[in-house]
Structure 1
Amino acid sequence: MILLVDSNSCIEEGYKGFASRQQIVNLEGKSQLEENSTDNHHHHVTHPTSYLDTLLHLFRGNIGSGLLAMGDAFKNGGIIFSPFMTIFLGIICVHSQHLLLDCSEEMYRKTKRAKPPGFADTVALVFEYGPVRLRRLAPAMKLLVNSFLCITQLGFCCVYIVFIANNIKMICDQYEIHIDLSIHMMFVFVPILIICMIRNLKYLTPFSTLANVLMAIGVGAVLYEATQDLPPVDSRVYLASWSQLPLYFGTAIYAFEGIGLVLPLKNEMRNPEQFQKPLGVLNVGMVVVASIFVTVGFLGYLKWGDDVAGSLTLNLKPGYVLSMTVQILITLAMLLTYPLQFYVPISITWPALRKKYAQKSSVIKELGFRSVLVLVTFVLAESIPQLGLFISLVGAVSSTALALVFPPVIQLVSTYQDKNGVPLLMAFKNAFIILLGIFIFITGTYESVASIARAF
C-alpha cells in the first residue's frame, strides 16, 4: 500500500526545483514557487527559466529509455502503421497536456492559491469545485493520481535496472565473461543504492548534467549505426498482428509519458504564457520529440527487423569500439538518471511516513526507507528481466491513466460545473480519448503480462 502526502503535491515541488537547476527527469515536476499570479500578474520563481531553457528541459524529460525502445514498438506495430499511429498518439497526448494546463490555470484563478497547483492537486481541486455529488471524490482522486505517479516512476526505475544490466552483460560477453543477467542486476544494485542515499536534489545537479551529455552522444551514435546498410522497407511487416498491437501501444505511451512534467516546467518559466502558445514550448518541443521517436523507431525496426531489442543499444555490433562506447555512455546516463526518477516516489511517500513514524532519527529512517524502496525496484526487475515487455507493461498500467484518462475527465467535470453542461463535440472527443486510454490499459496490460508469462 502506498502512503501519500496530504499536503500540496510534493512531486511538483521536487520537480520544479529540479527544472530550475537544469535537471529534468523522464516525467513529472520540480521547485518552490512564491507568489500568486492570475490574470495580469505572474507568480514569482527563484530561478526563472527562458524559452530555450524550458525547451531543453522538455527534451530531457521526454527522451530516455522509451526512445531506445521505439524500435521494439515499431516491430509490434508494423513499419507503415507505427509512424502514423505514433504521430496520432503524440497529438492526443499533447492535447491532454493542454487540458491539464488549462484546468490547472482555472483552479489557480478560482482558489487564489499561493502557487499554481500540480497534477494531483489540479485533479483534486476540479472535483472539489465540481458538481456537488462529485466533491466527495476529491481526496480519492488525489490519492489515485499520486499512486499512478509512484507506480510510473518506480516502473521507470525497474526498467533502468534491467536496461543497465542488459548493457553491462553485453559488454562483458564481448570479453568472454559470461555471467547470468540476474547476477549483473545484483552488481548494478550496489551503485544505485549508494547514489540514492543523496537526499537533496541540488546535489544531483552534476549527475543530471552529465547524464544529459552522455545520452545525447549515445543516441546520436545509435542513430548513425542504424542508418548503415539499410534493407528495403518492403522487407518489414507493414501492419503487425492484432496480438502484438497492444505491446506497441504500451511502449509508445510509455515513451510519451511526460505529462507530469508540463506543469512544473510552465510554472518555472520567466514568461509562463509562452509555454502554451501555438508556437510555444509545449507544441514546438513535442513536435521535435515525436519526430525523433518516429525516426528512431522506423530506422531501428528497418535496420534490425524482428531481431530488434528492447533497447537499440543491445543491437549494436559486438566488438566494435563505437558500439562499446555507446553502451557505456548510455548505461552511465541511465545509472545517473535513476536517482532523479527515484526522487519522485520518495517525495510523495516519505513526508507522510515521516510525520507518522519518524519524528525522531528521521534521517536514518529515511535512508532505511530509501533502501527498502530501491530493493523493491530491484526485486521487480529481477522478476521481469524482459526489457521490452517491462516497458510495455509500465506504459499500459500507469502511463495511460495519467496521459489519456485524467485530463479529459477533469475537463468534463470542470466544464459541466461552469456551464451546467458539456458541449456535444467536447463530450465525444473526450469520451474517445478516455476509451482509447482504457483500451490500451486493458489490452496492453493483458498482453504484456501474457507475453511475460510466455517468456518464462
Structure 2
Amino acid sequence: MENSKVNISHISGSAVSFNNDNNSVSDGYGMFQSKEQILASSKSQEVENGKALNGHHGDGHPHVVTHPTSYADTMLHLFRGNIGTGLLAMGDAFRNGGIVFSPIVTALLGIICVHAQHLLLNCSEEMHLTSKRDRPPGFADTVYLVFKNGPARTRSMAGTMKILVNGFLCVTQLGFCCVYIVFIANNVKMICDQYNIHIDLSIHMIFVVIPVILACMVRNLKYLTPFSTIANIMMATGVAVVVYEATQDLPPVHTREYIASWQQLPLYFGTAIYAFEGIGLVLPLKNEMRRPEKFQKPLGVLNLGMVIVGSIFITVGFLGYLKWGDNVLGSLTLNLQPGKVLSNVVQALIALSILFTYPLQFYVPVAITWPAIQKKFGATHPVAKELGYRALLVLLTFILAESIPELGLFISLVGAVSSTTLALMFPPLIELVSRSQQPGGIPKHIWVKDCFIILLGLFVFVTGTYESVASIVRAFQV
C-alpha cells in the first residue's frame, strides 16, 4: 500500500490498524468471523486526536487503546462476529447429525472451542510478559513466541508455525468469501425464480462477482464502516424472520432422525466448527476493552457471550431441521416459502448483508499477503498493482465458488480444512509447548486434555475433509 499505516478509528466501536513493517500484517489482528474485522497493531497504536485510554493489563505494561469498548460494546461485537452464514447453516448441520445427537454435541463443541480460546488468551498474556511488548501479541505472533521461547527443539519451528497460522487464516477468510458468493447467488436465484427469471446459478455468480470486485477496490476500511452497520441490521432482521418462519406448524420430534448415519457425521462436525470458528476474534476484542480483565472472568464477555451464541446456534439448528427435515438446505433462507413477498425481502436483505460483509472478510488475506508481494513487485505503480492483486484474489474465490456450488458442502469443507486447525489444534498445542518450560513439566491431566482436543481436531479435519470432498464429487456425478 502507498501509506505505511492505515488507522481506522471506528468500525462499530473498534479500533483498527495495520502496519506494513516486516512485510506482514500487524500482529494482533483477528477477524469477526461473519461480520467484520478488527486489525490491531502489535506496536503502540497511534492515538487519534489525542484521545486514548492509558490503562494496564495487570502486568505493568501500558495498555493504550483508541476508542476503548465497554463490557456491553464488546459483548455486542462478539455476537456480530459469530452470527452469520454459519448460523443459517446449522439446520443443515443438524440434518447431518441428528435431532438428539446434534444439540448435545454442539454444546460440547462450544465448550471445547471456548476453552481453546481461553488457552490462546492465556498464552498471549504470558508472551506479552515475556516479550515486554507494548500490546499482547495476536494469534500468529503468540504461536511464534511460544515456540521461540519453548524447548530448544521447538525454536527452529517458530517461523514455520507463524506462517502456518497466517496461511490457515488466509484459507479460512478466502473460504468464507467463496461461501459468500455461493450464498448470495443462491438467494438471488431463488428470488428471480419467483418472477419467472430462470437463470443458471453459475450465471448468477458472474453477476454477483461484479459488485464484489468493485467493493474490494476500496483500500481503506473506514469507507466500509457504514456498510458494516447496514449489514448488521439486515442480518439481524433476516435471521429474526427466518426463526419465526421455522417455528410455524412444527412436526413431532420423532419424525426426525435422532442420530444420523456415520457417513453424515463428519459433515455435521465441519459445519458446526465453521459456525463456532471465531478464535481470531478474541484477542483483539479483549485488547480493545476499557477493562480487559473482565473479558475472561467466569461471567465475563467470552463465557457469557458464547453461552448465548451457542444457545442461538442450537435453537436455530433444532428448529430448522425439525421444520424442514431432510429438505433443509445449506442456508435456512433458501427454505422460506416461495412466492411470498416476505420471503423475497428476507432473502434480499441477507444477501445484501453478506455482500457488504465480503470486503471486510477479504481484507485479512490482502493484509497478510500483499506487503511481501509489494516489496518484490510493487516498486512502481503500487496502487494499480494492489488493485490488480485484489481483483485476482476475488476472481480466485469466484472460480472456487463456481467449482463447488453446493453451499452446505462448501461450508462443511471450509470448516473441516481450516477452522478445525485454528480453533482446535493450535491452542492446545501452544499450551503444551508453553507448559513444558515450567518447573515439573506438563501435568498429566493437561497432557490428556490437550491431546484429546488435538485428536478431535485431527479427526474432524481428516474425516470432514474426506466426506465433504466425496459428497461434492457425488453431487457432480448426479
Shorter-normalised TM-score: what interval? over 0.9
Deviation at 1:418?
2.1
Report percent identity of matched pairs. 70
Contact in 2 for aligned 1:25/1:340 (Cα 8 Å): no
Unaligned segments of structure 1, at least 5 residues:
17-22
Letter in 1 for 2:39: K
Contact in 2 for aligned 1:38/1:108 (Cα 8 Å): no
- Report what 1:10 is aligned to: 25
Letter in 2 for 1:254: Y
Higher strand share: 2
Matched, 1:31 2:40: yes
- Report what 2:5 is aligned to: none
Task: Name which of 402, 425, 443 aligns with 1:423.
Answer: 443
- Report what 1:63 is aligned to: 83
- Report what 2:174 is aligned to: 154
- Report what 2:212 is aligned to: 192
What is the number of residues matched between the two proteins? 446
Structure 1 residues 329 and 27 mapped into 2: Cα distance closer, same or farther (>3 Å)?
closer
Deviation at 1:356?
1.6
Structure 1's consecutive aligned runs of 4 or more residues displaced over 4 angstroms after TM superposition are 11-16, 23-28, 35-38
Task: Name which of 123, 130, 134 aligns with 1:110.
Answer: 130
User: Separation in 2 of the partners of 1:209 and 1:13?
Assistant: 23
Letter in 2 for 1:262: V
Task: Name which of 299, 302, 316 aligns with 1:282.
Answer: 302
Higher helix share: 1
User: Separation in 1 of the partners of 2:400 and 2:146?
Assistant: 35
Structure 1 residues 15 and 55 mapped into 2: Cα distance closer, same or farther (>3 Å)?
same
Contact in 2 for aligned 1:409/1:430 (Cα 8 Å): yes
Larger deviation: 342-351 or 352-361?
A: 352-361
Deviation at 1:352?
1.1
User: Separation in 1 of the partners of 2:74 and 2:434?
Assistant: 28
Matched, 1:175 2:190: no
- Report what 1:20 is aligned to: none
- Report what 1:369 is aligned to: 389
- Report what 2:266 is aligned to: 246
- Report what 1:88 is aligned to: 108
The correspondence of residues 255-294 of structure 1 with structure 2, limited to 5 A, is: 255-294=275-314
User: Separation in 2 of the partners of 1:366 and 1:48?
Assistant: 32
- Report what 2:380 is aligned to: 360
User: Separation in 1 of the partners of 2:291 and 2:154?
Assistant: 35
Deviation at 1:10?
1.8
- Report what 1:219 is aligned to: 239
Matched, 1:123 2:143: yes
Cα deviation, 1:162-202, whole Å, max 9, x if unaligned, reads 00000000000000110000000000000000000000111
Contact in 1 for aligned 2:215/2:359 (Cα 8 Å): yes
Unaligned segments of structure 2, at least 5 residues:
1-19, 46-55
- Report what 1:454 is aligned to: 474
User: Separation in 1 of the partners of 2:323 and 2:208?
Assistant: 30
Letter in 1 for 2:466: Y
- Report what 1:204 is aligned to: 224
Structure 1 residues 342 and 391 mapped into 2: Cα distance closer, same or farther (>3 Å)?
same
* TM-score, reference length from structure 2: 0.91
- Report what 1:235 is aligned to: 255
Contact in 2 for aligned 1:309/1:388 (Cα 8 Å): yes
Deviation at 1:31?
3.0
User: Separation in 2 of the partners of 1:432 and 1:331?
Assistant: 39
* TM-score, reference length from structure 1: 0.95
Cα deviation, 1:111-150, whole Å, max 9, x if unaligned, reads 0012211000000100000001110000000000000000
Secondary structure at the aligned position of 2:436 is classed as helix
Secondary structure at the aligned position of 2:379 is classed as coil
Secondary structure at the aligned position of 2:158 is classed as helix
- Report what 1:349 is aligned to: 369
Letter in 2 for 1:242: W
Cα deviation, 1:325-361, whole Å, max 9, x if unaligned, reads 1101100000000000000100100111111210221
